[in-house]
Amino acid sequence: MTPSKKSTKKSSTVVLIATTLAITILSSGLVEAKPAMAHKADISHPKGTSPWPKYGEKPETNTPEVKAWVKTVNWDKVPKLPIRYTKSSGDPPECPKKDPPKSDCWWTCTGCYAPDDVVDCPGKKQWGLTFDDGPEPATTDDLFDLLDDRNVTATFFVTGMKSTKAPWLLQETIDRGHHLASHTWSHSGLTTLTNEEIVAELMWTQKYIFDHTGYKVKYFRPPYGDIDNRVRGIARELGFRTVIWSNDWDTQDWQLPEKTISQKQIVGIFNNGLHDLPKRNKGVITLEHDGDQQMVTMARTLLTMGMKSGMKPMSIAQCMNDPIGYNQVPVKPAASAAKPAVVAAPKPKEAAVHDETVQSAKVPTKDASSEESLPGSISKESTSNKTSGSSRMTAGAGFAVAGWTFAAMIASLVL
């Protein structure tokens, strides 16, 4: 039987009511939005400041921020060393035929460490677990799950440019109890850059992390380990501490995507290190990466091997017995405070881009009993507590189903 125009009109009205109700519920915030899978670079920046440096490019040095940061450096404390030659911009330098002066302490070409370089963990069998070149959507999350499963923490040396494609992973790193550190903005060999370019690489990365988490990083690892006393001098003046890795504890996992090394070979490298472990008076710092699923698989294997041998994985802050691990961390604001307070330990020299009140605090750990609130500048894409997020999604879905059910009941009565 053909439905009457009146019935058809009622049906359309019911469908419209149900659709409107569902859309209202879904857009009310009860269903939590997830980051877009395209992972476009985050080009947003606080009003009145320069745009973030472009993805894949060295930061410009003629911005007001960089000029201000450069002025904070006491250049009398920075050795006047030559800018090193590289065949391609961004790559590590070429070592000269003639050995550079020992006073340069150029790690890349002489293997020299400065007294304040962090190379080993001080405690025997301590394992400074570090991952470079992230964050990487999905891959870094899988690594978080692995570390959660083993109940261990690590330090993630992130690049500024990669962070723009996954800014929510910066906060998630902290929320998961891990430690954030800098791997510069563009992953260029630092000894191949000008003084101003080095400042820009370090400080734009620190600013991006701060603006999205409220934490100012303290530790940094030079890409390729490329550092000399000129780079160290600039980093010290800006409040950073250099981290390299222990001799023979570079896992070489970065070669996996290039298929220039096999997992079996990496296991062999790690086994050699474990064999010599009893001879060491100190612990170790390993170099791994989180840019590829093969690396996560390798990390799982190496964690099993190391922990079975009695190694104790931990972040760089933990192995250095640094209870804060940052130059500045957020704390809960007072009830009457208009803006969140922040703390520093110690406050580094830097441009007056941010002017905050400081006091002492502790770095979050896996067994922290409470979480600290963050400044209002946190990115909208920062991840929130997973449990509450899941609850919101469940509640939203439940309300949506209820809306459609209610509409169906009306339809059955009207029609």
The residue assigned the tokens 């991840």 is 383
Catalytic residue among 120, 132, 141, 211: 132
- Core vs surface per residue 95-105: b (16+ CB within 10 A) or e: eeeeebeeebb
Catalytic residue among 178, 187, 212, 289: 289
Q: Nearest Cα to 131, choosing from 250, 281, 213?
A: 250
| C-alpha–C-alpha distance, residues 140 and 379, integer Å | 18
117 is catalytic: no
| C-alpha–C-alpha distance, residues 283 and 12, integer Å | 71
Integer angstrom CA distances of residue 372 from 177, 214, 218, 363: 12, 10, 19, 10
| C-alpha–C-alpha distance, residues 272 and 286, integer Å | 13
Question: Backbone dihedral region of 133: left (phi > 0), alpha (psi from -120 to 50 degrees) or beta?
Answer: left
Q: Nearest Cα to 299, choosing from 137, 132, 171?
A: 132
CA angle 311, 124, 176 (to 5 degrees): 50
Report the DSSP pairing between strands 126-128 and 284-285: parallel
179 is catalytic: no
Report the DSSP pairing between strands 126-128 and 312-314: parallel
- The residues annotated with a catalytic role in the active site are 132, 289
